[in-house]
Amino acid sequence: MGSKGIFIIQNDQDEAEFEQFLKESGEPTFIVTDFVDIERNVACHFFMHPNGKDVTWFGSNENKRLPDGHFSSDSYLLMEDQESLKKMQLPFVEEVVQYCHSLGFWGFCGVDVLFDSKGLGYLVDINPRVTGSCPALMALQIFKKTYGFQVGLFRRSGDINFYGTAAELMEQVGKYNTENEGKSRIVVHSMYQPEPAKTRLNIGVYGNDMEECKAVLNRFAQPKREEEED
């Protein structure tokens, strides 16, 4: 459903909206679960081989909790966390691999796993494809080998606006990368220019200082301006 059809029912109005969704969606099947107090929001990305056993692991990323309680939509990539995150998610991945193999599917895949304060995990999303964060993790692995980079920050939703043309964006990114060779690196993973002076993009910044990466990311990928708000 592409993240559609997830409801928290707390009152009669919520239930009415849910029932309307069911009617408009052709009465799909659904699962009702209790509310879970999530502490960590992590994802991993891997390749399932045709034999249904071997897995090539690309890595994991995490969406950090913000001071207001919400989770950031940015993907935090930290080399120091890779082994621990893999250990946490591997039991879920093994079950996903077995299930996909039973259907005759192999290839790229990514899963999202939520963990509560007791460390219990909940598999909430299976994406049998190249995920958005997978190329960002691949990029960090390359930069680790080339420059020794240990962290990255990837943004594909939310504040993804560069106020200028795509050509201007690439010129500024190229200049930054030249001036900061060996210190940090920007990668524009995808982009399109819907307006003469506005480009939307998926972008990652890689280096050794997460706060510096965040500052650079916010410089190139900005929120909507007030005049654009509905």
Domain ranges of the chain: 38-127, 134-228
Residue burial 191-210, b: 16+ Cβ < 10 Å; e: rest: bebeeeebbebbbbbbbeeb
Summary mean pLDDT of the chain: 92
For residue 163, the one-letter residue type is Y
pLDDT band of residue 1 (cuts 50, 70, 90) is: very low
Read off the pLDDT of each residue in 94-101 and give the average, rounded to a whole number.
95
Question: Quick check: 125 pLDDT over 50?
Answer: yes
Burial class (CB in 10 A: 0-12, 13-18, 19+), 42: buried
What pLDDT is recorded for position 229?
58
pLDDT of 60: 97
Amino acid, single-letter form, for residue 143: F
Q: Give the fold, CATH level 3, of 134-228.
A: Alpha-Beta Plaits (3.30.70)
Which homologous superfamily is 38-127 in? ATP-grasp fold, B domain (3.30.470.20)
Q: What would the mean pLDDT of 193-202 be, rounded to a whole number?
A: 96
- pLDDT tens, position by position, 39-59: 999 999 999 999 999 999 999
pTM (predicted TM-score): 0.85
CA distance linking residue 8 with residue 21, whole number of Å: 13
